[in-house]
Amino acid sequence: MTSTDFHVFDTTLRDGAQREGVSYSVADKLAVARLLDEIGVGYIEGGWPGALPKDTEFFSRARTELQLKHAQLVAFGSTRKAGVAVEDDLQVRALLDAETPVVCLVAKSDVRHVREALRTTLEENLAMVADTVAFLVGHGRRVFVDCEHFFDGYAADPGYGVRVLDAAFAAGAEVGVLCDTNGGMLPMGVGRVVADVRARTPGKLGIHCQDDTGCAVANTLAAVEAGVTHVQGTANGYGERAGNADTFVLVANLVTKMGIPAVPAECLPELQRVSHAIAELANIAPDDHQPYVGASAFAHKAGLHASAIKVSPGLYNHLDPTVVGNDMRILVTEMAGRASVELKGRELGVDLAGQADAIGRVVDQVKVLEADGWSFEAADASFELLLRSQLPEAPPPLFELESYRTSVEHWRNGVVVSEATVKVHVDGERIISTGEGNGPVNALDNALRQALVSRYPQLADVALADYKVRILGWKGGTSATTRVLIDTTDGAGEWTTVGVHANIVEASWHALVDALAYAVLRRPQP
């Protein structure tokens, strides 16, 4: 079996976005798609065009802004409405307008949902499935069909779900996905149902599991054992209620435990980095105890474990952590990640060959910074600047700071005005610059760029694209450490920088300075 035969289908941007508290911007969705492509998934479900304006914009921008290496983009939607001709159904038309090579349709496969939710007949539901699949296939689309509530429907009527699958396959669908929509199944039940369905229909079967019993990954693997060759999951298990099967855990288990080449071998070491980067984009703290990719997944305290690990790391590790891009850690004396720094430098175009001392300094510095709350998982630009600062040919700082000041003024009429003044030295010249903005960070950005633009004219094209704040630790009252992520663009590309401080403006200043320094690094003036 090859990765072409076996499908890993990620629905972070559709089903995963239903997690409480998650709200991706279109820029976030594009960034998540790029990251998912880096772990080698075969399919990325981008959302529901026509139903959600943000998703419609995503697919429009994706046509020119996404260059995927491994994955194909998938548009999600429903079958035609009951009593409506498929060519007249606007949401079906929106699926064509998304111009993705693959479409995933959701269809009812539980007789109760057909009668009570759709309020139509069982035969009309089958026609809705067949008509929509045939219509999309006729327009050159590959079609997968998610059979919603399949397992609950099977318990009520073991035959009707198979009839839905057969209707889909006969109309040209490539995959019929058995969905545990309510997440109530256990592995032994999933295996039994899948084996029965596998014996009754010849088409390619998939599995989609929610995690309401805490068994989404186990249920998915049980389905694979029973004959499924298409698995659906979300990054870090994000999703509605208790979430979905975790794509990273699924991939790691499929490849390392079951011997299935679910993703290209060279992508497996990217799992931890991508997991943490997507967590940052979702503004959710990474789960330290997440299998395979969590910071504590291969961490050991001093004592019996640590003593044994000195003899052989494999005595207390089920897997070499570097296989999934992680590191083993001894919690009393943490082990340095030199290889990770060198590999990341290579990815960022920074040659660290023969730079052992520089790598050591970076490792030590990252340890100190991470202890203070810094994280570079979603801030490659800041990390690249840190790397380059330790090399003999390190770029000089853009300026020397004398001071900066911000103020916020609330007028009687409700207008709020922010102002910032920066005093910097550039090439020996003292410059004082003042800027206004809709907040102190915007004002600082305007003031600093105004001070630097005469020396660095490329900064005129630079603009803040997104701004995220995370509170890392409460220390009493309103005191807490704050991490700021700033996304910046120059029209040709986008990058992310990070800043951490107890003062949110100072944290923002660190991220802002890195953003401008990286802009100059990207486009040096002759």
Give the tens place of pLDDT for each residue, 264-274. 999 999 999 99
Residues in the chain: 526
Confidence class for position 346, pLDDT limits 50, 70, 90: confident
Q: Say if residue 333's pLDDT is above 50.
A: no
Per-residue confidence at 119, pLDDT binned at 50, 70, 90?
Answer: very high
With residue 415 as reference, give the H or E element that holds it.
Answer: none
Please give the pLDDT value at position 336.
39
Q: What is the mean pLDDT of residues 401-420?
A: 92
What's the confidence (pLDDT) of residue 365? Answer: 85
Please, what is the average pLDDT of the chain?
89
24-68 per-position pLDDT tens digit: 999 999 999 999 999 999 999 999 998 889 999 999 999 999 999
**What pLDDT was estimated at residue 4?**
66
Q: Provide the 10 A C-beta neighbour count for residue 490.
A: 18
Give the containing element (helix H, strand E) for 28. helix 26-38
Tell me the C-alpha to C-alpha distance, in Å, between residue 76 and each of 13, 108, 162, 286: 10, 15, 22, 27
Position 526 confidence tier, pLDDT thresholds 50, 70, 90: low
Q: Is the pLDDT of residue 140 over 70?
A: yes
Query: Read out DSSP for 305-363?
Result: HHHHHHH-GGGT-SS-GGGGT---EESSSPPP-HHHHHHHHHHTT---TT-HHHHHHHH
Give the pLDDT confidence of 157-193 residue by residue, as tens digits.
999 999 999 999 999 999 999 999 999 999 999 999 9
Please say if the pLDDT value at position 334 is more than 50.
Answer: no
- Check: CB of residue 326 under 8 Å from CB of residue 298: yes
**What domains sit in the chain, N to C, each tagged with a CATH number?**
10-76+233-284 (no CATH), 79-226 (3.20.20.70), 298-335 (no CATH)
Q: Which of 234-248, 380-394, 442-456 has the lowest mean pLDDT?
A: 380-394
Residues 89, 81 contacting (CB under 8 angstroms): yes
pLDDT (mean) for 220-233: 97
> For residue range 499-511, what is the model confidence (pLDDT) as tens digits?
999 899 999 999 9
Residue 340 has pLDDT above 80, yes or no: no
Residue 74 burial (10 A CB sphere; 0-12, 13-18, 19+): buried
SS3 labels along 303-317: CHHHHHHHHCHHHCC
Residue 91 has pLDDT above 70, yes or no: yes
Q: 207, exposed or middle or buried, with CB in 10 Å at 0-12, 13-18, 19+?
A: buried
What does the pLDDT read at residue 339?
A: 59
**308 vs 41 pLDDT, higher one:** 41
Average confidence (pLDDT) over 133-155: 96
Nearest to 49 by CA among 8, 10, 102: 102
Is residue 450 predicted with pLDDT exceeding 80? yes
pLDDT digits (tens, 9 = 90+) for 315-326: 667 888 889 988
* % of the chain exceeding 90 in pLDDT: 70
pLDDT-derived band at 429 (thresholds 50, 70, 90) equals: very high
Mean pLDDT of 2-29: 90
